[in-house]
Amino acid sequence: MILSDKAILKEMEKGDIVIEPFSRSALGSNSYDVHLAKHLAIYEDDILDARKHNKVKHFEIPEEGYILQPGTLYLGVTLEYTETHKHIPFLEGKSSTGRLGIDIHATAGKGDVGFCNTWTLEISCVHPVRIYAGMSIGQLIYFEVEGEVGTNYATKASAKYTERTERPVESMMWKNKF
């Protein structure tokens, strides 16, 4: 079951959902709009290797915006820091963003119970498009969990994205054993 706007507010009052900064105008009937922070990153190498730590180059979106180019994976980050202690958060693109040909995640739209951080975005585009820091980039939808959670994300031994950050975080696949 997806939480309604009133249910999201009630869970925020209880501290089970945290959104910082929070703006009532970003709360939809069953979602919360998240915004693009000023930080972007691109991988330094043309060929990425799943077994190695692929380094990224960080930069900021200038006031006049930044033009995304097709064929490049950009890592962005939400302006909002979130905590989800009893629900499953899903990050989805907004239709307005999609209609500009922008995808905000390749595969990682589902968060875990216990995820506490900003959201790194896996941004790609179909056409060159100018983006701006602070623009609405996606929406969080919260689902109820059936049953008791045994291990939340923040306490999982294999959790790799727990350090609070304001910048996008590159893939930590290299920490897996395979």
The confidence score (pLDDT) of residue 161 equals 83
Specify the pLDDT at position 123.
Answer: 97
The second-level CATH assignment, the architecture, of 5-44+55-146+164-170 is Distorted Sandwich (2.70)
Q: Tell me, what's the pLDDT at 160? A: 79
Active site residue 122: yes
In the prediction, which pLDDT does 30 show? 97
Listed as ranges, residues in the chain with pLDDT below 50 are: none
Task: Select which of 13, 64, 80, 122 is catalytic.
Answer: 122
Question: CA-CA distance, 119 to 162, in Å (whole number)?
Answer: 11
Q: Tokens 């180059």 belong to which residue?
A: 57
**What pTM does this model have?**
0.92
- Tens-digit pLDDT profile for residues 20-60: 999 999 999 999 999 999 999 999 999 999 999 999 999 99
> Helix, strand, coil: what percent of the chain each, to 5?
15, 35, 50
**The token pair that represents 66 in the structure block:** 């930044």
Over the stretch 9-19, which tens digit does the pLDDT of each residue have? 999 999 999 99
Give the model's pLDDT for residue 107.
79
| Cα(110)–Cα(113) distance, integer angstroms | 10
Please check whether residue 75 is in contact with residue 123, taking contact to mean a CB–CB distance below 8 angstroms.
Answer: yes
The per-residue pLDDT for 178 is 87
